[in-house]
Every structure is written in structure tokens, then in C-alpha cells.
Amino acid sequence: MFDVPFDAWYAWLGVALASVAVFGTAWSLPATPPPDAAGVADTVDSVAASDHPTTAEHPLEAATIELGPHRLELRNDGGAAHATFAFGPVTPVGRGSRLEAVLYGTPPERAFASPEAFKQALIEARTREPTRTSVERTLVARRVSWEGVDATLVGA
């Protein structure tokens, strides 16, 4: 009694509109998932929690990264993801700095004149405002120690 005859024009119009709505919703979804910021933070935390000098790398599936002493943000076409470090603060390393040389394997005693100069560079890097940079390689985390100055360097 209340059934709509399926050969009625308004039934076909309703089905067509519902199909367009479903297609539009599916089309608006991102093609890629947001990056895995928690996995990256876990890698950094495993290095920061170590009692010994350690180095670890984590591949990044992100277009940009914003790295701070207590947290990080990764972005790609799928959105943004944030994570906080459990073992911080870490030292974000900028490109072209002497700390970058230490991050990639140079002993701190060859890159800096004294432990005090190394400590000052660490303080300056930690207090610098985080900036978003493009990702060109994997994230590297390295725990270093030089005459009582301990640090976890992180860069991408």
C-alpha cells in the first residue's frame, strides 16, 4: 500500500541523487593515510632512553616535518600527525650546523672546541622556535655524550 512503484521517475531521481552523494563523499577522502608520527616518536624515545651512545633511523613518509624538543609534527597529502616524546627534551638539529655533523657521525670533540661550546650549541638548538621543513631523507636520532654533556640529537 505504501510501496513506491520502481518505475516512477521520482524513485529513479532519488537513487541517482544518492549515488552522486556517495560518489562525492568517496572522492573527497584522502588517497594516502596521514604519516605515522607515533612510530617516529617511538624511535626517538628508544634512542633517548638508552644509557649508551646509540643511533637509529626511521623512514619518513611525509612531505614536511616540524621538530621541537618535546614533540614533532609530520604532514603529507593525507593530513597531519603529531606525537610527543616521552624521553625529552631532545635536540632538534638544523641543516648546515655543526650539530648536523655530529648527528651524522662526527665525534663532538672534532666538531666543537670544548664541551662548553657543545653545550651552548645544544641550548641554542633547543630554544630555537620549531620551523616546518621539507623532508629530504630519513629521520636520524643519535645519543651522544662528551665529558658530562649528554644529548639526543634528532634531524631529518
Domain ranges of the chain: 37-155
Question: Which range among 3-12, 109-118, 137-146 shows the weakest confidence by mean pLDDT?
Answer: 3-12
Q: Please report, as a single letter, which amino acid is at residue 111.
A: A
| pLDDT on residue 7 | 67
CB-count burial class (<10 Å; 0-12, 13-18, 19+) for 92? buried
The answer, yes or no, to whether residue 151 has pLDDT greater than 60, is yes
The answer, yes or no, to whether residue 11 has pLDDT greater than 80, is no
Q: What is the pLDDT of residues 25-50, one digit of tens each?
A: 767 766 777 788 899 999 999 999 98
Q: What is the pLDDT of residues 125-147, one digit of tens each?
A: 999 888 888 887 789 999 999 88
Contact 140, 154 (CB under 8 A): yes
The answer, yes or no, to whether residue 84 has pLDDT greater than 90, is yes
| pLDDT on residue 92 | 92
Question: Is the pTM above the cut of 0.85?
Answer: no
| pLDDT on residue 3 | 67
Q: Which residue has the higher pLDDT, 120 or 27?
A: 120
Helix (H/G/I), strand (E/B), else coil: 150: strand
Q: Please report, as a single letter, which amino acid is at residue 150.
A: D
Percentage, residues of the chain above pLDDT 70? 92
The answer, yes or no, to whether residue 4 has pLDDT greater than 70, is no
| pLDDT on residue 141 | 93
Spatial separation of the C-alpha atoms in residues 45 and 88, rounded to whole Å = 8
